[in-house]
């Protein structure tokens, strides 16, 4: 089912027919935030990048196919979350995804993480983090198919105050599995099939 979309994306909106994988020359709004209103046609939870495909209608009634590109599923959240009650270490070895410990707070699963490698990025723009970064994630299942997430990131050495996310909502896609797709030249055909062609309106039988 198609759902309405009102989404502000910073530097990751790209019209797929003109874009090569990982190319940046055709990215719209590299230094700007673009707000578009449209209809979601597909949510592609795939490697190496997650994509949201959607159609946008302009003032003349013309429909343009757009896509929001995100990180890979593994980067969006992958790692070990200890749930055996252990405390976070005081001086952990730095890791790309940090060291995480989770526990239940009523009906909310709370994950606290620290020990991040300072060479990682805060976001797609390359904003830095430091070794004192902490992350709190609060997951709450509203119903069988709906999950809510709130996040707070604190990096005292790099930023003047914590960053608090908007509430993020995830809905279960029935009969959908994460597909394997790597950032290598041999996977370009599959990338075209899963992402670029649907985004450009190309249908192959």
Q: What is the mean pLDDT of residues 31-47?
A: 71
Domain count, the chain: 2
Whether residues 118 and 143 share a domain: the answer is yes
Q: For 151-186, how does the pLDDT look when each residue is reduced to its tens digit (9 = 90+)? A: 999 999 989 999 999 898 988 877 776 666 566 666
**Exposure of 151 in the CB half-sphere (CA atoms within 13 A):** 13
Residue 115 lies in a domain: yes
Identify which of 131, 136, 147, 148 has the alpha carbon closest to the alpha carbon of residue 103. Answer: 136
Question: If phi over 0 gives left and psi between -120 and 50 gives alpha, with beta otherwise, what is residue 17?
Answer: alpha
Strands (E), the chain: 3-10, 13-14, 33-44, 51-57, 63-69, 81-82, 99-105, 108-114, 134-143, 146-154, 163-164, 168-171
Q: Is residue 182 part of a domain?
A: yes
Distance of alpha carbon 78 from alpha carbon 46, whole angstroms:
14
Q: Are residues 103 and 43 in the same domain?
A: no
Do the domain assignments include residue 43? yes
Confirm whether 190 is domain-assigned.
yes
36 & 15 share domain? yes
Q: What is the mean pLDDT of the chain?
A: 75
Q: Which domain holds residue 63?
A: 3-74+175-200
* Within a domain: 13: yes
pTM of the model: 0.53
205 in any annotated domain: no
| Residues 29 and 62 both lie in one domain | yes
3-class DSSP assignment, residue 175 = coil
Quick one: 106 and 154 in the same domain? yes
Q: Is the dihedral of CA 176, 178, 181, 183 positive or negative?
A: positive
Are residues 81 and 70 part of one domain? no
């Amino acid at each position: 089912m198609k759902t309405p979309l009102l989404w502000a994306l910073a530097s990751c909106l790209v019209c797929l027919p003109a874009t090569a994988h990982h190319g940046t020359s055709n990215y719209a709004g590299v230094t700007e935030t673009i707000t578009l209103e449209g209809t979601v046609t597909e949510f592609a939870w795939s490697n190496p990048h997650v994509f949201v495909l959607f159609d946008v209608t302009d003032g003349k009634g013309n429909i343009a196919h757009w896509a929001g590109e995100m990180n890979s599923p593994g980067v969006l959240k992958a790692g070990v979350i200890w749930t055996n009650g252990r405390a976070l270490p005081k001086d952990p070895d730095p890791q790309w995804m940090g060291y995480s410990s989770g526990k239940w707070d009523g009906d909310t699963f709370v994950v606290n993480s620290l020990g991040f490698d300072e060479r990682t990025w805060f976001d797609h723009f390359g904003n830095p983090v430091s070794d004192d970064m902490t992350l709190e994630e609060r997951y709450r299942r509203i119903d069988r198919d709906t999950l809510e997430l709130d996040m707070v990131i604190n990096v005292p050495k790099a930023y003047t105050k914590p960053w608090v996310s908007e509430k993020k909502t995830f809905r279960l896609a029935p009969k959908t599995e994460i597909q394997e797709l790597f950032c290598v030249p041999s996977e370009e055909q599959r990338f075209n099939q899963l992402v670029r062609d649907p985004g450009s309106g190309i249908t192959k039988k």
